[in-house]
Chains A and B, each alone.
Chain A
Amino acid sequence: MMIVLIMPVILLMLFGFAISTEINEIPIAVVVDEYTPEVRRDLTALENNPYITLTGIIEERDVDQVLRSGKVSAVVMMRDGKRNVVLDAANSSMSVSAGSYITSILRSGTTMPLSVTTYMRHNPQLKSAYNFVPGVMGLIFILICAMMTCVSVVREKETGTMEVLLVSPIKPIYIVLAKMVPYFILSLINLATILLLSHFVLDMPISGNLPTLLTLCVLYILLSLMLGLFVSTMALSQVVALLICAMVMMIPIIMLSGMMFPVENLPPVLKQISYIVPARWFIEAVRKVMVEGLSMSGILKEFSILCLMTIALFAGSIKKFNDRLE
């Protein structure tokens, strides 16, 4: 299965490079009634700003049309010495930043000498990758590992070979382990490529110590394989098992793991739900180890929760595996 080895690499590279919440090149248009020196100064300031792309000067009656068709995200109206910034606030989080960029540029002509210096601890260039690479790792590992193992048992059920396995004298624990070993080896190869790429190509730092990071990742892989196996023992058909692992699990993992949206903001009930999403703990721990440079003692909580989840899933699969005979 070459795809299992190539897919994570392509996904990691794509997402690592492409996903970013940095806002730049905001397209804007300008309405001008008279070219006074102030207007010229503001126009140059807007033109020279790297975050803003000045697309052109338009008539006042076209303001609504250019905004509605999405050609620009903001229009600056310069009339009677006043400045009115009209924002396309459909994307409210982006428009807040766009608005504050533009007002600060317009203000800079009449600036106040208030000086503020800022320090971004752990991530001085504010790279989104520091945020997304652990997220993508958490997402890819769990889904791919679970998708690999989730058909293993249920396929035996569908083809009828399950009965043969059950009447054989082999203990279920060995069958379950044997089913995992090949996928575990595959996942280790994936882990190596993913870590190498994220460090050398995507410039992710590994500030903490490597053995801690590796232990954490291996534990997470085991957990993900167990999760797939557990789904496999529960599901009645391959279709259902695959649907659960590929489609149903994808949404909570993206939404509730802190990869896209901060977990702190979740409403209380959803926060409780997010506690059972393994990716949430993994992503948090990976960030701590890779970016903040904490050692094992710093991630003890996350690590032990992941351990408990793995054991619970393992016990669950063995139990389900045993009472399959009807």
Chain B
Amino acid sequence: MKSVLPILMRKEITQFRRNKVLPRLVMMMPIMLVLIMPLVTQMDIKNISVVVLGEDRSLLSTRIESHLANSDYFRMPESAYDYNHAVELMDQGRVDLIVSIPAHFERDMRNGHGKPISLTANAVNATKGGQGIQYATQTIISAVTEIAAESGLSAEGGLSVEGGLITVQNRYNPTGNYRHFMLPALMIIVLLLVCTFLPLLNIMTEKEHGTIEQINVTPVSRWEFILAKLIPYWILALVMIGFAMLLAWAVYGLVPAGNPLNIFIGAFLFSLCMSGFSVTIANISNTMQQAIFVLFFFVIQFMLLSGLFTPISSMPTLAQWLTYAFPPRYVINIFRSVYLKGTLFTELWFDYTMLFILAAVFYTLATFTYKKQN
């Protein structure tokens, strides 16, 4: 007996091509996400506006000031005459960080006591405040170390300079390019959106138009019906990932350090997972709007909680456990590891297995929730 699968698939592809919006949208997504969005993902805070209050008119305080002025991270557009004035400027949003060097700081430091340097940051944005303090401290330490080395202070004053005793080596992303870290994750967003929203809306359209009932009365089995709907999206997902990888290579010069096949296997398993998930939601929803609400509820969690933007390791333990049920968690790890570190397939077995298990779970759910009779 001839299978109806190819015929059904042809119907789906024709419907997709005839749609005015969908093909354009599908083309635009990787371009927008892979081409433009990496420019946004810049965690490094630059242009921190800093004010130095130097009551100590010593060599040290001028040195600290010039180190800050020469740093990429800081700029000094404002000046303040005292601390209260500086705080006022901060509240107006014109200053992000105040460095205040107390009077006689250099002299007191040589004696090993005295008031500390105080740093005040506007921490409404915790990341920005924290980073500003961190960079400023590093800059001050390097200025102090420099002065100490010049004056031979290290010998008597208890200021020791490590002279290269501690070295730091950055592996896998030596230039520290945050965009290279985000690019693989942005590709996942493309997959995540295409493999959930499009199949869901496709099935819900059939439901709302009533054409799903016509299919239900034919001898087409439910598996053939669902497969015919999903296979085009799986292929589409792989094509889009390929396209996105080409874009990343052409524009940002990013090529996978490992085997690209590992990426495709991950992408394929992930699209299996997500499309199974969206079929389940389509099965239990009555209207298109309801289905979209439910899907949106999950997709936004997948986006914000699977380590895409913020590290999973900084979440509370309970939330970390929750992320084990999120398929993007695994595929993001696969993409990033293979892309940047060249991790081998065997080293990522856990992620591949989990994706496979989750796919199996979602398809089981999808079969149970699909009813031919309503």
Contact = CB atoms under 8 A, between A and B. Distances in A.
B126 A128 contact: yes
Nearest to B153: A112
Contacts of A17: 316, 319
Given A20-B310, A121-B121, A242 B201 contact: yes
Interface residues of B, number: 105
A294 B46 CA distance: 26
A247 interface: yes
A152 to B, nearest CB: 10
B259 interface: no
Given A20-B310, A68-B341, A90-B340, A122 B124 contact: yes
A247 B197 contact: yes
Contact of A18 (B21, B201, B319, B333): B319
Interface in B163-203: 165-174, 176-178, 180-181, 189, 193, 197, 201
A11 B177 CA distance: 31
Interface stretch (B240-248, B285-293, B353-361): B285-293
A94 interface: yes
Nearest to A15: B304
B80 interface: no
B304 A82 contact: no
Interface of B: 20-21, 25, 32-33, 36-37, 39-47, 87, 90-91, 109, 112, 116-130, 133-134, 137-138, 140-141, 144-145, 148, 158-162, 165-174, 176-178, 180-181, 189, 193, 197, 201, 205, 208, 288-290, 292-297, 299-301, 303-305, 309-311, 313-316, 319, 322, 333, 336-337, 340-344, 347-348
17 contacts: A3-B293, A19-B309, A20-B315, A24-B314, A68-B172, A68-B342, A81-B165, A85-B169, A89-B171, A90-B181, A92-B173, A113-B112, A114-B141, A120-B133, A121-B129, A131-B124, A250-B296
Interface of A: 1, 3-4, 7, 10-11, 14-15, 17-27, 65, 67-70, 81-97, 99-100, 103, 106-107, 110-124, 126-128, 130-131, 139, 143, 147, 151, 236, 238-240, 242-243, 246-248, 250-251, 254-256, 260-262, 264-267, 270, 287, 291-292
